[in-house]
Amino acid sequence: MKKYILLIVFLFGYLGISQEEVEKQKAKDLEVSKNYTWNANKNLSEDKFVDAEAEYRKAISKSSENATAPYNLGNAYYKKETYSEAFGRFKQAGEVATNKADKHKAYHNMGNVFMKRKEYEKAVEAYKEALRNNPKDEETRYNLALAKEMLKKQQDEQKNDQNQDQDKNQDQKDQDNKDQQDKNKDKKDGEDENKGDKDKEQDKKEGDEGDKGDEGEDKKEDNKQGEGDDKKEDNKKPNQEGEPEQQKQQPRPNQLSKQQVQNLLEAMQNEEKKVKDKVDAKKIKGVKVRNEKDW
């Protein structure tokens, strides 16, 4: 039993010694890191940016508890307008800072980076976090008010741009509808014109067919008349017994009948006889003749 007790005491003693050694090592590393930071600050003051950057990186890698090294490196990047690198170092400084003063400075500068990027909403949140760690800093309060004003202006511009885009889209939509209506109208006018041409062609076709029909009727009428003449000629032909048809031929218009011709011949003969009698009378004038009856 005594052996177990001694073992436990020995272990606790060893752990205590180890934790003490760890704390001593951290303190030693922090001291070295601060030395690197001091060298970096000196190089930066002499405009030796590359040398300063190298010393800051050594300081950061040597101790994770040195918030000054990443903060100062962030400031160096900020002056070079390398805002992405600057933001990363300010963020790192804020995370490792153990007091409110260091946290306040880190978040304040993070807000400044957001302002440069015109990310005003993020700047507002960064300045608010800085004021939580130091409510009395008037510069941070001023920057917060400016960030809010710029955010409102940005939102109004975005809203106006959105409205303009909507108006533009609506105008484009209205123009497209108008163009479509014009196309439909042109198409309809074309169809009406084609329909008019087709109606004209149909009327012409019907007219031609009507003329053909009249011509056909005339031909039919001529055929009927021809057939009538043929039938009349057939009436003149003898029947099967060789006897002529009893039906008399009807005279055509402007054609004298047989009786009219006979009467005309008799009249001409009478006139001719009268003229002859007058001539004969002159020849035998003075000779008495006996009276004879006219025949």
Mind listing the pLDDT tens digit for each residue in 198-238? 667 776 776 666 555 555 555 555 555 555 555 444 544 44
Token representation of residue 65: 């508890």
Q: Does the pLDDT at position 289 exceed 50? A: no
Contact 141, 125 (CB under 8 A): no
pLDDT of amino acid 214: 55
Which residues, including other chains, have CB under 8 Å from residue 59's CB and lie 6 or more apart? 33, 34, 35, 36, 37, 40, 66, 69
Quick one: which of 83, 35, 91, 40 has its CA closest to 67? 91
For residue 84, the model assigns a pLDDT of 95
Whether the per-residue pLDDT at 9 is higher than 50: the answer is no
Structure tokens at 140: 């941070």
Between CA 224 and CA 218 the distance in angstroms is: 10
| pLDDT one-digit tens code per residue, 158-167 | 998 888 878 7
Structure tokens at 188: 């309809």
Size (the chain), residues? 295
Helical ranges in the chain per DSSP H? 2-45, 49-62, 68-79, 83-96, 100-116, 120-133, 138-236, 258-283
Judge whether residue 285 has pLDDT over 60.
Answer: no
pLDDT tier, 291 (very low <50, low <70, confident <90, very high otherwise): very low
Q: Residue 258 pLDDT > 90, yes or no? A: no
Cα 22 from Cα 41, distance rounded (Å): 28
Q: How confident is the model at residue 95 (pLDDT cuts 50, 70, 90)?
A: very high
Of the pLDDT bands very low, low, confident and very high (cuts 50, 70, 90), residue 5 is low
Give the Å distances, CA to CA, from 218 to 166, 208, 209, 230: 76, 15, 14, 18
For residue 292, what pLDDT band results from cuts at 50, 70 and 90? very low
Predicted confidence at residue 274, as pLDDT, reads 81
- State which of 12-21, 169-178, 241-250 shows the largest mean pLDDT: 169-178
Cβ-defined contacts of 164-171 (< 8 Å, 24+) = none
pLDDT tier at 78, thresholds 50, 70, 90: very high
Mean pLDDT score of the chain? 79
Confidence of residue 31 (pLDDT cuts 50, 70, 90): very high
Which phi and psi (to 5°) does residue 66 adopt?
A: -90, 95
Q: What is the pLDDT of residue 245?
A: 44
285: alpha, beta or left? (left if phi > 0; alpha if psi -120 to 50): beta
Q: What pLDDT does residue 69 have?
A: 96
Confidence of residue 173 (pLDDT cuts 50, 70, 90): confident
Q: How far apart are CA 162 and CA 179, in angstroms?
A: 25
What does the buried/exposed string (b/e) look like for 32-52 if buried means 16 or more CB atoms within 10 Å of the residue's CB? ebbebbebbbebbeeeeeeeb
